[in-house]
Chain A
Amino acid sequence: MNSRTPVIHSSSDAAGSDTTTDLYNRHRYRLIQDHLQRAIRAGRIVPGLVLLEGPVARLFGTSRVPVRKAFELLHSDGLLLTFDGRGYLVANQDGTAPEPLRAPLSETALGFDAPPEPLDLPTTGERIYRALEEAVSVAIVFGHFRIDESLAAETLHVSRGVVRETLTRLRDRGLIEKSTYSHWLCGPLTARSVAQDYELRMLLEPAALRSSQPFLQHEMLAAAIAEIEEAIAHPMSVDAEKLQQLETTLHVDCLAHARNRKLLDTVRHAHMPLTVNHAFYQAFNLHPEAGTLEEHRAILRCLMAGDVDHAASALCHHLKNGQTRTLQRLKVLAVLPEPDLPAFVVPFP
């Protein structure tokens, strides 16, 4: 490796990066999936309604890619069904197939009970999300900080509402807290909090995996295995972004079908260690060691073979090793000099 200038990306460059397109799409498909899932379960979308990618994408203000992905996931959950025609049908509440109903797809037909949150927002939303996530994940290494909503809105050229909404999402991931005085607070990153997050994940992720496993699609697992094989064969090609993508595949996508949403929310709340690792790999421009990648592969192979017991124990083993590795990496961060943080990241108290 010739160049090892350690760089911690701040909000400004992350905001406009093209390399994050995949991530935007991933977040978008989840928004779409979540919305449709809620609406179908609540009976707000009439069974039999034929959903087509194009019109749904227009309603959400996105491309067809995230809509296709959301449809596939809803299909694997049994909420959408294929039929002898283009698109998907909305299943009956009991999962059976109704007669196809071809009707114009409007906001009302898709169960929006209010004019949709400006779903032309996702790109901006994701841009702001990435910017604030980066700022917070860098700041917490260096102490305890308050995020100034107005300054953030000013710096990122968006409304305070958008900033607030984004910070709420970061709170759901356990990266930020809201104090009793309504301050948004983050950090400090400690070995104790990392260890506690891992303890929680060791308890919950295997359970979530067991619940999600029956719904995992062969194609998705095959793609995930191909991706990890590629990473093992070419570890030098795995940068911080790529590693985060691999982590998301295993620790988010493979668990996503668990029926217990509260369980998944709690797991997501304990994902701060992923942020530590991302900060570590980005700061030192490193590539993951073989152990991490091989543990991922072992879990995915068990899932592919339908062996959920071994998959769950391999996941537990991976998280245990991950805890050790992450705590070691956290010590290394101690050598980093304090960087200039964005103005909206204010030392607290």
Chain B
Amino acid sequence: MKRRDFIKTSMVLSVLGARLPLMALGKSKQNIRRKTGTWDSDRILVLIKMDGGNDGLNTVIPVYDNLYHQKRPTLAFNANQALMVNEDSGFHPQMAPLVPIFQNGEMGIIHGVGYPQGNLSHFRSSDIWVTGSPADEIWSSGWLGRLFQNEYPNFPDGAPEHPIAIQFNSANLLEFQSVQTNFATMLFDPEIMYYIVNENYVPGSNDPPLETYGGDELNFVRELDLTTLEYSEEIYGAGQDGDLTVEYPNNNLGEQLAVTAKLISGGLMTPIYRLNIGGFDTHAGQGGEHPPLLNQMSNAISAFLQDLKNQGLDDRVMVVTTSEFGRRVEENGSNGTDHGTSGPIFTFGTTTVGNVFGSQPSLSNLDYNENLMVEHDFRQVYTTLIEDWFGLDPTVSQAVFQETFETIPFVANPLSVSGSPAVPEAFTLYPAFPNPFNPATNIRFELPHSSKVTIQIFDIKGREVRTHRLGKVSAGLHDFRLDCRDLSSGVYHIQVETAGSVQSQRVTLLK
């Protein structure tokens, strides 16, 4: 059930009047909640799920790839239609609000995200993404469920006062499911939820339940009753205290983001919000179905980012979009595309590194099913969020995925385990990766304090071939994507200069 449906059919609020009084409730706390857990950071992750499998090739468009035009005679966009953002890619024409955001370095694009042995069954693939399992195993708990089980093993004992995660639809989601319980709180509207929950709450009786299976289930319902009651109060309070400084678009995602912004602004400490926008399963008539969704998404996200900036909340929030798979390269006979494998993930905010990670997928070098190859495992993205964004120990992400995955440097200020951003001692230049490379490589460097940075490329004869002036860059870890498509193969020197210090290294471009 979506919030819109309920508002459309509900007369409840009008019965109540415009403003709800805070009810004084005598509730008996049957469990003592102590704040424990190692979750230190106050950072917030907003996950937006694009339901159905977003078509990455028509989102970040490889306009100069001839194969793209050949294989999509009716669906392809050319360089005049796409909104060009760099030398090889353009955004879908409906994504105009996101162009300045990308150009400001507040949007990251991670190409080719998927997993090996892509499963084309709709729910198998969804399940793999939300459980974080290898493709040939079936896990019944979600990655966030395991993460929170790790943090709060005796949930609800030891749980914080705020909801651990908030989602905006009423079905239990596998990603928050652990073996014991589900860690998400479903919400459609803070005020309506508060009213309904409180009007209908009666305390359970005081006897301990029987030691039978029936007793177990009774315990479960009692706990749910109690946590729902407490969370509804927290949420209501934050909703009353919060502000919105922009006008959100009047669509499904806009509404969800508006409630999210209000709660963050009102001081709710919930670290994860899970939103969704559906309709991406464009098997037919994609030309009519895909654009309004991208339009909705772009307008809603840009409003949200602006609101956060206005309220000074942007340094704590990152928005990440995911989808359960990409779509096939070749269009089908119904002017649509069928289920594919990998696709791009987008990260938004002043907290992300505004780079392109990886490159446009090859349309000639496809897998055995004629689908796009995978460049990044989606678990790398999740691992990065766990380690770099929330600053948890690598042993935690290891425990969640049963494997170690290499992080992708899209978090601008990675937290260290102690919870505060690590301030480097001195200017450091890390080894570029990949190396040798074609066509792009990533240059990573650390600054002890903010200063101007210039990157220069010299060829083997010492001639300067390129200069990038980055201007003033903040302290901390940074990544710069160096695209050398226009250069010829060979060895080059990369020189990074800042505040009087120079460091350099050799890289090899191998075309």
Query: Do chains A and B stick together as partners?
Result: no
